[in-house]
Amino acid sequence: MIKDCLRLFQNDLIKNTDAMVLENYLPKDGTYLLVKMENGDFFQQEPVEIHYNKKSGQIEGRSNTSYTYLQHIDYYSKLVEMNKPVDPRKIIHSNNYLSFFIKKESLTGQKVTQDIIDGYYEVLKNPDKKYEKKKKSKELYNYIEEEIGKPDVILLQQIQEWIKQNLNTLIVDTERRDYLKIFFVLPEQEKTIRLYQQEGKRYLLPNIYNNNESNIENEDGILYGLPNDNMGMNSKKPFLEHKSRRIKEPYLINLEEALLQSKFFDFLMGKASLGITHVYVDMKNDKFIFCESGEFAKDFEFGLFLKIQKGKEVEIHNFDTISKYDFNLKRIFDYKKILEIPEKNLKLQKLEYGTKNNFDDMEIMIDEVFFSKWLSNNYFTDPSDLSVKDGVVKYNLLKARDGLNRWFYKGNKDGVDTLLQQISLPLVKNALANGYELKAKHQLNLRWSLMDYFAENEDMEVRMKEIRKKLREHINCVEDWEFESEDEYYYAAGQLAAFYLSKIRAGKRPQSFINPFLNAKKDEIIKKRLKELYKKVNHDLYMDSKNLRDRNLTCHVMGHTPEVKVNQEMLVCGFTDQPLVYEKKEEGK
């Protein structure tokens, strides 16, 4: 997977050099100070405040003329990770003598002592001493020193003295928990950037691999090592080792590949920092497609998918191969009003019934109706971080999100029909139990519309029309009659329960009754609950000719013994649907 990404990335890199990495690089929040060096003198420039606003997606400071310049030199000055610092105390976070990064809180806590400053520059003055006791690391450093030479000790000492004399005199807002970053620059920007590239490389090369002690050379003298990106092998992670092989590392790559991979992960980090977390590798057109969470790759057909996230480093949380993807649905989906909903209630519904043509429409609909908009931003959220208060919604969200993500964003619908059937009925019951009857109707309509869609017929719509029609005829009939199906019986039982509950004077329907009724697995329990409810409301029921419907409903439900197990779906449907008992009679009938 990584090799396929690197091949494409390398092609883009050849065309654009480091520009594609740098233009996406997001400097960390903080105060950025340029100090110009000219003829042995130092000239402090106006500081630049850089802050990324996650809500608006805007970068404060981006409009400053020095922003791109700061982007470049900051990129070449960053640490690979905090476990590979130049400063052994980890107070100073930069990697070369031209830059000086600290957390602002270090100024107030007096953590940045003269000894720490001197120690930092002492390491940079004699980098080879840092690797003296690590043979393989020193070999890597010697390789880069042969290429770029030793550091400019005179310039280093001048910068060191400036920091010691001026650091505590700088006006810095120490209330903000971000960075103070100082850059020492030459009058010419291009020359400065080349110098930063050089000194950044001096740090990067000996630290490019996870652990240089595991590096090996092949018979041709080519060095191989374990890359540092998304990988960490140490005594705390013995499970990553290949215990049965001579080489225990999962995989090894040469120095050229390691440098390329490091840039690629920096490139991804820039995207993730800006909230762009979905990466499609378009194998048809040999290009990357980047999408924010909830955004779809509309022109993508096949290739690779990566879900990335910003952490201490860029993290790949999900990966998949996509063989065929089409943003537009092969068959148009129809969200149907199978259960009738009053027109006044439909006007309050933001999401419209009707046809949906693509995955964007489908996700919005399923997210809103089933999950109250908790789905689209929580496909990869850790369960402990989900702030969904409703336990039933949370449980079914966690159960469904992987399958729905595969369907919407990867075009894989295997098992989605079964999954949606499994999670939708509990959500309907939960909505009813909490008093959200209109929501339950929308959910049932969506459940059945989805069932019809995946079955490629209109079975549920036809069934419900027929059941409702038959029960309507029966409860208006003065002659004796029998239920024509068990579906009609359970639908009628739900209607009767809803009718009784409508007679209760209290503002809320008693949840203590609703839950056992909706979850009943035996008909005896249903009848028991109906009898209990009847006793509560029979003072408001009149057994005369004017009440033919409710008399018919009561007598036939209580007198019927079903031959099949409880159909909870029809029970819930009858409970949720418009009560037939209260229907107005048509003129002339």
pLDDT in tens, the chain (589 residues): 788 899 999 888 887 778 889 998 999 999 999 999 999 899 999 999 999 998 888 999 999 999 999 999 999 999 999 989 999 999 999 999 999 999 999 988 788 999 999 999 999 999 988 888 888 899 899 989 999 999 999 999 999 999 999 998 998 888 888 999 999 999 999 999 999 999 999 999 999 998 888 888 888 888 888 888 866 666 556 656 666 666 777 778 899 999 999 999 999 999 999 989 999 999 999 999 999 988 999 999 999 999 999 888 898 888 999 999 999 999 999 999 999 887 777 766 667 899 999 999 999 999 999 999 999 989 988 999 999 999 999 999 999 999 999 999 999 999 999 999 999 999 999 999 888 889 999 999 999 999 999 998 778 888 999 999 999 999 998 888 999 999 999 999 999 998 888 887 655 555 666 788 888 899 999 999 899 888 887 776 665 556 788 888 988 999 999 988 999 999 999 999 988 988 876 544 4
The pLDDT value given to residue 347: 67
The pLDDT value given to residue 220: 83
Per the DSSP assignment, residues forming a β-bridge with 304 are 281, 321
CA distance 375 to 419: 15
Q: Which helix (H) or strand (E) holds 141?
A: helix 135-148
Q: pTM of the predicted model, to two decimals?
A: 0.82
CA distance 445 to 425: 11
The pLDDT value given to residue 588: 42
Angle, alpha carbons 113-118-121 (nearest 5°): 130
The pLDDT value given to residue 532: 87
Three-state secondary structure readout of 261-327: HHHHHHHHHHHHHCCEEEEEEECCCCEEEEEECCCCCCCCCCEEEEEEEECCCEEEEEEEEECCCCC
DSSP 239: G
* The pairing of beta strand 30-38 with beta strand 179-185: parallel
- Which of 39, 171, 149 lies closest to 104 in space, CA to CA? 171
Type of residue found at 209? Y
Per the DSSP assignment, residues forming a β-bridge with 355 are 334
Other Cβ atoms closer than 10 A to 527: 17
How far from 512 is each of 393, 456, 491, 525, CA to CA, in Å? 20, 39, 21, 14
CA distance 166 to 582: 84
The pLDDT value given to residue 379: 92
R_g of the chain computed on alpha carbons: 34
Other Cβ atoms closer than 10 A to 263: 18
The pLDDT value given to residue 589: 45
How many helices and strands in the chain, by DSSP H and E?
21, 15
- Which of 68, 121, 267, 99 lies closest to 198 in space, CA to CA? 99
Indicate the domain borders of the chain. Answer: 19-208, 275-322, 330-457, 461-582
